[in-house]
Amino acid sequence: MKKTIKAVIYLLVVCLVVTNIYIFVVGIQSSNEVSRMEKSLEKLRQENIDLESQLSQIDSLEYAASIAASLDFEKKAVPTYLDSLKYALNR
């Protein structure tokens, strides 16, 4: 009887050790995955900052003026007002 109890206890201890090793290995793998995701997230944040900077440059009036100058849009448009009777009466 004592031999069976000792065998069961040894088997239980071995199972617990194997389970502990498995959990440890899975924890290390999860840690590596979290580290990889953090690096990826930091890369995406930096890319987002760069894109926001480019967008603010493109959205500026200076950029619009330089593009307009390069496309020869320097002449300002004269607005047409509809207050004149010529347009109101379609003549």
What are the residue ranges of helices labelled H in 60-91? 61-70, 85-88
Cα-only R_g, the chain: 37
- Contact between residue 80 and residue 87 where contact means Cβ atoms under 8 Å apart: yes
Tell me the C-alpha distance between 72 and 63, whole Å: 14
- pLDDT, residue 88, reads 57
Which pLDDT band holds residue 78 (cuts at 50, 70, 90)? confident
Dig out the tokens for 85 from the structure: 């009777």
Tell me the C-alpha distance between 29 and 23, whole Å: 10
Report the pLDDT averaged over residues 76-87: 66
